[in-house]
Amino acid sequence: MIGLFDSGVGGLSVLKAITENGIKDDFIYFGDTKNVPYGTKTKDEILSFTKDIMEFFIKKGADCAIMACNTSSALVYEDLRKKFSDKIKIYPLIQYAAPFFKNEKETIGVMATNATVKSRAYTREITKINPRANIVELECQKFVEIVEKMLYSDPLSLNYIEEKVEYLKNAECKKIILGCTHFPYLVPVFKKFAPDIEFIDPAKLLIKSIQKELFVNQSEESSFEFYVSSDPESFKQSGSMFFDIKEQPKLAEFAKV
Ligand code: DGL
């Protein structure tokens, strides 16, 4: 069983990428809708939310947990690994995506949440293996709300998106990492403003490096269970735009207290 979590519907982009890659398993997805957005929270808050999620996955019998969330990969992966590595294997996004930029010479743009950009996790992880990499990180926190509330065609949202894309274009970025799992949903809009820029989804890079491990415990057919910490109905509504959620999302017991 593979657990995936995010603050909301963003991590469904990771689940989608995994299933499109032909990996079949029993999937359990947790959307922390009570605490969304993570990008404006402190490290201590995110650590407390994600510890509960790890314990929930362990209780459910998951063999591994994919952190389908850049913000928690940036801030708390090391803490979670130290606390839970004897019980569950944890895969963070940023740390697995970074090695793919080993030989990158062009300027790399990163769009991410407030907390991810503040942590400089992308710069930290990429320069570990490519010390001369030139990385421009840009906070795009409002994209999370645009996706969660489906505000794609709202003129104010479009202005905000255009401003952010222009900034990275002016910084000479030829490639932009979608440093938040909510952002792949906005690629068609980004492309309108920057048709020549390559937008890179780190989930696809993570999957490339771990797919052999994930294929080991495969099932014949996939099964899906969706849990949230509040409002299952609106999770289903906005999530269904991105993933075929047939099963009714449930409110997780630990989140009820
Ligand atoms: N989708 C998450 C990420 O990748 C969290 C976004 C948020 O809740 O602010 O960072």
Mind listing the pLDDT tens digit for each residue in 175-231?
999 999 999 999 999 999 999 999 999 999 999 999 888 887 777 899 999 999 999
Q: Residue 175 C-alpha to ligand 1 middle, in angstroms?
A: 20
Q: Given 64, 69, 140, 173, which residue is catalytic?
A: 69
Q: Residue 144 C-alpha to ligand 1 middle, in angstroms?
A: 7
Summarised one tens digit per residue, pLDDT across range 29-71 is: 999 999 999 999 999 999 999 999 999 999 999 999 999 999 9
Give the amino acid at 1: M
The answer to whether residues 168 and 136 touch, using CB atoms and an 8 Å cutoff, is yes
The answer to whether residues 157 and 92 touch, using CB atoms and an 8 Å cutoff, is no
Q: Residue 42 C-alpha to ligand 1 middle, in angstroms?
A: 13
Distance of CA 138 to the CA centre of its chain: 16
By most ligand atoms within 8 Å of CB, the mutation choice from 93, 96, 181 for ligand 1 is: 181
Higher pLDDT, 124 or 214: 124
CA–CA gap between residue 116 and residue 107 (Å, rounded): 19
Name the 3-class secondary structure at 233.
helix
Query: CA geometry: angle at 199 spanning 121 and 158, to 5°?
Result: 100
Share of the chain above pLDDT 70, in %: 100
Give the amino acid at 233: E
Predicted pLDDT of residue 257: 65
